[in-house]
Structure 1
Amino acid sequence: MKSNPSVLLAALLLLAASCGDSLGDLGGLVGNYVHNFSNQWEVVKGKPTGLFFFNVSDVDSSKGTGNLAINENTPAETYLLRGTFDNLKVSIHYLTDAERKAIDGIDTNGPLAGTAYKGLLDTLRKPVILRMVNTADGTDSLVLKQGF
């Protein structure tokens, strides 16, 4: 059986056009990513000395965004942090002493109170690594590893 190049070309163009239409509905979702922040995070590099525990809220999976409530548990204290994520971009900050007092009545949020970090999730590493830099001091970095 002999094939007709014009018919074959028309069929390929029709297939490509129909795939494009079906991806049109999903095109807005391509590239959006919501990481599973559960589990504890260990400090690989940085000033903090505790284990971090992330709680996620207000997730919009169609945009890949959400809010983070984080506890850093040290042997002596628990410090509170808040943050956001937008796909692989993460921003976190230690609550100021005043913010901490407003939440639970505790007067201090430790030596890093008010310190902010921003960075990226490295999901190609196993376990996942969160690499961040201090927004006020570019020489200060924080690297967290998910799980143990």
Structure 2
Amino acid sequence: MKVMYPGSFDPITIGHIDLIERCSAKFDQVVVAIMLNDSKLGTFTMDERLELVEKSIGHLKNVEVVIGHGLTVDFAAKMNCSVLVRGIRAVMDYELELQQATANRVLNPNVETLFLVASPKYSYISSSVARELASYGADLKDFVPEFVAKELYERMRRD
């Protein structure tokens, strides 16, 4: 089975990597789709995110990283993925993801959404927390890979 894990990945975190590794072990093919989120200002360009994600998961041979365009559910269908994987960290995530999954189901009933609960040791991690911590120069070793932290610190110094 081929599944898609969409997100903004701005930047990719160790929580994202854990979820991608878990999907890689369970499914034949995983498409990590870096999607533009119009409601968020990006820290990294789409191409920079692509590079960071590819470097983070290069050890996974059945995972492809792409930049997606348009509605996620339409892009999944275009990529021949009938399942969208979404990570759930807390009740707040579930409420937002349920609403999105329901809308996607109305738009394309052939694309299902599968919720995976975050590993407890990563449930506190988010890209927005990593960005905020980086802006204060805090240690990011428990949030993002070392090379992502380096890029994030540099980006925060420039902005």
- TM-score, normalised to structure 1, is 0.25
Bigger strand fraction: 1
- Give the number of the structure with larger relative contact order, counting CA–CA contacts within 8 Å between residues 6 or more apart: 2
Bigger helix fraction: 2
- TM-score, normalised to structure 2, is 0.24
Q: Rg larger in 1 or in 2?
A: 1
